[in-house]
Amino acid sequence: MITITLKDGSIKAYEPGITVLEVANDISPGLAKNTLAGELNGEVVDIRQAINEDATLNLLKFEDEGGKHAFWHTGSHLLAQAVKRLYPQAKLAIGPAIENGFYYDIDVDVVITPEIMEKIEKEMAKIVKEGLEINRYVLSRNEALAKVNAEGEIYKAELIENLPEDAIISFYSQGEFSDLCAGPHIQNLSGIKAIKLLSLAGAYWRGDEKNKMLQRIYGISFPKKSELEAYLTRLEEAKKRDHRKLGKELDLFSLQEEGPGFPFFHPKGMIIRNELENFWRQEHQLRGYQEIKTPIILNADLWKRSGHWDHYQENMYFTEIDDASYAVKPMNCPGGMLVYKRKGHSYRDLPLKMAELGLVHRHELHGALHGLMRVRNFTQDDAHIFMTPEQIEAEVIKVIDLADDVYRVFGFNYKVELSTKPEKAIGSDEVWEIATDALRNALEKKEIDYRLNPGDGAFYGPKIDFHLEDSLGRTWQCGTIQLDFQMPERFDLNYIGSDGEKHRPVIVHRTILGSIERFFGILIEHFAGKFPVWLAPVQVMIIPVADAHHDFAKGIADELTAIGVRASVDGRDEKLGYRIREAQMQKVPYMLVVGDKEAEGGDLALRIRDTGDAGLISLADLKEKLIEKIKTKSLTLD
């Protein structure tokens, strides 16, 4: 017998070979019906997965990330099956589940239009009504190749040809349709109650522009129609909040043809950016970090020593200086290593915390660029903490606490992910295990729930990632904590221990905001451009009723400016209502409308961005309110 430990801590005994679905069914048929995948020893697996040894098992529903992945992966197969029924000559490439839904890349001699998408969507609904069971089977490499070649599936054949000779290859079938796939998938298509095909795009096979352009169809599916309706509502709201749209309307930043992927920040955008950076500096100074600045261009030898030359070269930019090869830095860490190495260190100096708002450049394909979210140059809020092995857990906990403090200022909740050794990695398994255990221990000591992400660590060490949840429920990966035993070896870093001997420090690489540019874009969408007072480019707009009130308005602006408030006067020769609406469109937190009564010494008529007329307030009370809101970084205006 084997023992299976469930999420609630209960332990059950079964014969070896029992599947995830059979465990769910043993507990409750209702649970089995809603189980879409399993998390076996921290890894998401198919419900058909056999369990042959003692294990921990979490049964995943649609509410769980792994459950959604299996559900949406099945949606991609449903899409492909519908396309093949309508266009038998179509060739299928790849069809994964993604963060929100799924897509399939298809080679078909028909230009897919919105009308054709609607036709495919209807065919998908028809297939669902057939209630097809989904089955998994495996073939040898030769058998799999023979199958896909007989079907004319040239892209599947290429995928299989790149697998090892002894690979056992899995397929999933539903009715007449079967597809090369590692899974996981749900039990039956009848569980899909709502489908929507969302958009079209072009995609080169394998992302290589030398290959054929395929047609990519994006879609999403849900187990309830109400969930699809809620998702489509959020999608409409997301369009309104698009940081590219709001960035233009609020005059914050732009992307120019002369520099694709290289953002330009405008005066108002720089105010927000500077406030973010000032906040970042204050928080780091309070916690004992020292700020450094390292060069943007450094020689090739440095990048070879760091490992980036071998592991990251395709994302780097290069140049020559004095007949020698140089690279534009894609990361800040090698420069930080050189700053540490400039002088000797004692164990008494550690932990040594060096932080850098470092501008980095990375080559991204043009088609991958997306506003501020995916750019070719950005500023990482990096820090490198040099420490003794005994200090690892305590220092990782301090970084977790810093991240928590910073994210709560912006109203973000977050989820945490622990990523382990990737396929291409440097360093021994033993060192990786020590590093991974140290991160896991820190998370467990903080009693933080986390998801294991096997194989997604940095090439030099495991990492903790923070996924922020915005006001629309979307998640964004921002902060990261990466534990590194490799760079100290490569750069021959050391410190003198209490025994008088040389020892290797351990390094934590970490960011909190991630990229200033990307975090800026996330904030625009999170707040829908309605920034809290401390971040707003204009905090108070003063609107004189007539020309006679301009000097009085200017005087108020000067008084507010003197206490550090960003105040402007809209004295344009436009109607009062137009100027009020304009201030609201620019999402200014507070507006003061001043006329004869105000100029004669009365209280001021205050308008608040979201609630409109807020009545009268004295200038002294307004100053006190503004100072308090800015100082506390309040998220509310009332």
| Interatomic CA distance for residues 486 and 329, integer angstroms | 19
Strands 567-569, 540-544: pairing kind: parallel
Q: Is 603 helix (H, G, I), strand (E, B) or coil?
A: coil
337-344: which pairs have CB atoms within 8 A and are 24 or more residues apart? 337/306, 337/384, 337/487, 337/491, 337/493, 338/294, 338/302, 338/491, 339/292, 339/294, 340/384, 340/386, 340/493, 340/505, 341/491, 341/492, 341/493, 344/495, 344/496
How are the residues of the chain apportioned to helix, strand and coil, as percentages rounded to the nearest 5? 40, 30, 30
| Tokens representing residue 413 in the block | 């909740």
Instruction: Residue 329: count other Cβ atoms within 10 Å of its Cβ.
Output: 25
Strands 18-19, 50-51: pairing kind: antiparallel
Q: How far apart are the first and last CA of the chain?
A: 63
- Based on its alpha-carbon atoms, the radius of gyration of the chain, rounded to whole angstroms, reads 29
The burial of 607, by beta-carbon neighbours within 10 Å (0-12 exposed, 13-18 middle, 19 or more buried), is given as: buried
- Which candidate in 46, 382, 465, 470 is catalytic? 382
| Interatomic CA distance for residues 362 and 376, integer angstroms | 5
The residue whose two tokens read 């406030």 is 275
- Which candidate in 362, 467, 510, 549 is catalytic? 362
Strands 413-419, 2-6: pairing kind: unpaired
Length of the chain: 638
Look up 463 and say whether it is catalytic: yes
Angle at 330 between CA 413 and CA 514, to 5 degrees: 10
Q: Are the beta carbons of 209 and 217 closer than 8 angstroms?
A: no
Look up 526 and say whether it is catalytic: no
HSE of 305, CA atoms in CB hemisphere, 13 A: 17
Q: Are the beta carbons of 403 and 543 closer than 8 angstroms?
A: no
Instruction: Residue 292: count other Cβ atoms within 10 Å of its Cβ.
Output: 18
Look up 631 and say whether it is catalytic: no
Sheet with 135-140, strands from edge to edge, namely 135-140, 168-174, 177-180
Look up 353 and say whether it is catalytic: no
Instruction: Residue 524: count other Cβ atoms within 10 Å of its Cβ.
Output: 26
Q: Are the beta carbons of 198 and 221 closer than 8 angstroms?
A: no
- Which candidate in 196, 329, 384, 526 is catalytic? 384
Look up 362 and say whether it is catalytic: yes
Look up 91 and say whether it is catalytic: no
The residue whose two tokens read 């998408």 is 117
- Which candidate in 147, 329, 353, 463 is catalytic? 463
- Which candidate in 421, 509, 526, 609 is catalytic? 509
Helix (H) or strand (E) holding 104: strand 101-107
| Tokens representing residue 440 in the block | 């896991």
HSE of 617, CA atoms in CB hemisphere, 13 A: 19
Burial of 593-603, coded b for 16+ CB within 10 Å and e otherwise, reads bbbeebbeeee
| Interatomic CA distance for residues 533 and 98, integer angstroms | 36
- Which candidate in 174, 187, 380, 539 is catalytic? 380
- Which candidate in 105, 215, 333, 374 is catalytic? 333
Look up 308 and say whether it is catalytic: no
| Interatomic CA distance for residues 139 and 135, integer angstroms | 13
| Tokens representing residue 441 in the block | 């221990």
What positions carry a catalytic annotation? 333, 362, 380, 382, 384, 463, 509
